[in-house]
Structure 1
Amino acid sequence: MFDGIDVVVLPVADTGPLRRLYVDAMGFEVVEAGPVREAEAWARIWDLPSPPATSLLLGKPGSHGGWIRLVAVPGLPKPDAAGIPDRPGPYALDFYLRHPGETEAVIEERGWRFVSDPVDYLLPGTAHPVRERMLDQTSSGLLHAFVGYREGRTRCVLGERPEVDVSEVNAVVFATDDLPAARTFAEDVLGGRIYFSGRFEGEALERLLTLGPGEGFDAVLTRGPKSRNARLEFIQRLPGHPPRPMTGAPRVVAECAMDDLAALAERLAHGSHGASTGIVETADGPRLGLRSRYGAHFCFRQR
């Protein structure tokens, strides 16, 4: 059963810029670092065009999932800009910030760019106010949603560690051409629980993502029984735009622990959900890679 994304794998040509972003500016801690053993096997599992060289695991001790693994893949081409969600594939990572203005200022001083000014809106279907701003993370071609932390209303490490200003990854957002099928996959294949299914739209969203008037998208948000981070989110690719193809290697691989890896392998073996590696034995235990047809790459392991 799906119960959150444990590690967000980010393949990049050079891990240096992202180490400085996540460690120096966002307070992630280096958990382990070194060369990638069994590089050919991991290239297959992560669907990389060439073997990875080094790996850097970053975490927020005390959190339950939502860690980041930076993987150096020599020669990996520069990704396309995230832009608007007009293509299938990884789109954004979400983080909660205790002091958004202060953290964003530090990040801007380091040369990173925000797509827009902060916006305030009500969470769809609720009366809960949200403060959000989008960072353009160009090393992976992703947006990062920086959301103001609300004490007692948001599950993340900030509730456990008052000295921490930035949370673990709270959600990974993938755009898809087939949202109904992606929802079925999340529920019936992974065993995830849908806690929101609806539409994101309005002037605040248009300002946040630089969308056109009236543009918005439907979304399905998935978590597990313990509501561990990071959540899995699918959004419908914006209609009315020619789809930009994803080029090169996957820019995000979601690593998830599952209760029964062998049973999951059987559910994926027929290929209707995408190309699966089957179970691959590694020194770290069995893994299963999936290039899904819903715009998301996965690496599954036995819980």
Structure 2
Amino acid sequence: MFDGIDIVVLPVADTGPLRELYVDLMGFEVVEDGPVRDADVRARLWDLPLPPAESVLLGKPGSRGGWIRLVGVPGLPAPDPAGVPDRPGAYALDFYLRDPAAAEEALEGRGWTFVAGPVDYLLPGTDHPVRERMLDQTRSGLRHAFVQYREGRTRCVLGERPEEDVSEVNAVVFATGDLPGARAFVTDVLGGRVYFSGRFDGPAVERLLGLPAGAGFDAAIARGPASRNARLEFIEHIAPAAPRPPHSYPRVVAGCAVDDLDALAARLAGGGHGRSTGIVETADGPRLGLRSTYGAGFEFWRR
């Protein structure tokens, strides 16, 4: 059973700039650093066009999920800009920040840019206030949502470690052209729980993402029974103003431990939810890769 995303795999041609971003500026710690074992097998699991060479695992000690694995793939094509969510695929990672203004100033001082200024809005269907700003993470073609941490209202490592200023990854956002199918996949195949379903729109959301007036999208956010981070979020992609080619490789692979890998493999074997590798053996034990039809890439292993 799915119970959150344990490790967020980010394939890039050069891990250096993202190591600087996540370690130097966002306070992640290097847990492991070295060559990729079983490179050809990992390329198959992660659906990469070239074998990976380097792996840098970054974590927030005390967190329960939401770690980042930077995967160096020499020769990997440069990613297209994320832009607005107008095609299927990985779109954003979400983080909570204790002092967003200070963190954003430090990031801008190191050359990182934001889509627009911060916005404030209420989480749809609630009276929960959200302060959010979008970083343009160009190295892997993603947006990063920086959300104001609110004591007692938002679950993450910041509640356990007062010395931390930035959380673990608290959500991975995939755009999809089949939101009903993605919801059914989460509940019926992964055994997750969709705890939020609603529409994001209005002037604040338009400014946040650089959307045209009147644009918005429906979203579904899922956790497992233990409600731990990081969450899995699907958003309905917006029809593009002009056709955009699909991503040539997964920008994000969501790594998830599950209770019964064999049962999951059986549910995916028919191909109705995407292209599965089936269970393959690696130096770290059995793994299963999935390039889903919902814009999301996954790697699963036994809990």
- Which of the five TM-score ranges fits, normalised by the shorter chain? over 0.9
> Which AA in structure 1 matches 2:235?
I
What is the correspondence of 1:5-44 to structure 2 with a 5 Å cutoff? 5-44=5-44
2:278 is matched with: 278
Runs of 4+ in structure 1 displaced over 6 angstroms?
A: none
Whether the 8 Å CA contact 2:8–2:68 is kept in 1: the answer is: yes
1-structure distance, mates of 2:280, 2:95: 32
**Structure 1 length normalisation: TM-score?**
0.99
Structure 2 unaligned segments of length 5 or more: list them: none
What is the correspondence of 1:1-303 to structure 2 with a 5 Å cutoff? 1-239=1-239, 241-303=241-303
**CA deviations over 1:47-81 (Å, ceiling 9, x no partner):** 11111001000000000000000000000011000
Would you say how many aligned residue pairs link Structure 1 and Structure 2?
Answer: 303
**CA deviations over 1:67-108 (Å, ceiling 9, x no partner):** 000000000011000000001000000000000000111111
Q: By how many angstroms is 1:128 displaced?
A: 1.2
Q: By how many angstroms is 1:243 displaced?
A: 4.3
DSSP 3-state at the match of 1:114: coil
2-structure distance, mates of 1:24, 1:196: 33
Q: By how many angstroms is 1:297 displaced?
A: 0.3
Whether the 8 Å CA contact 1:86–1:242 is kept in 2: the answer is: no
Structure 1 unaligned segments of length 5 or more: list them: none
Q: By how many angstroms is 1:248 displaced?
A: 2.5
2-structure distance, mates of 1:180, 1:296: 14
> Which AA in structure 1 matches 2:5?
I
2-structure distance, mates of 1:157, 1:57: 17
Whether the 8 Å CA contact 1:196–1:220 is kept in 2: the answer is: yes
**CA deviations over 1:138-184 (Å, ceiling 9, x no partner):** 00100000000000111100000000000000000000010000100
2-structure distance, mates of 1:245, 1:7: 27
DSSP 3-state at the match of 2:3: coil
Structure 1, 241-250 or 209-218: larger mean CA deviation: 241-250
1-structure distance, mates of 2:78, 2:248: 9
Q: By how many angstroms is 1:247 displaced?
A: 3.1
Whether the 8 Å CA contact 2:87–2:239 is kept in 1: the answer is: no
1-structure distance, mates of 2:240, 2:19: 37
Q: By how many angstroms is 1:198 displaced?
A: 1.1
> Which AA in structure 1 matches 2:236?
Q
DSSP 3-state at the match of 2:186: helix
> Which AA in structure 2 matches 1:15?
T
**Structure 2 length normalisation: TM-score?**
0.99
1-structure distance, mates of 2:107, 2:99: 13
Q: How much is the aligned-residue C-alpha RMSD, in angstroms?
A: 0.8
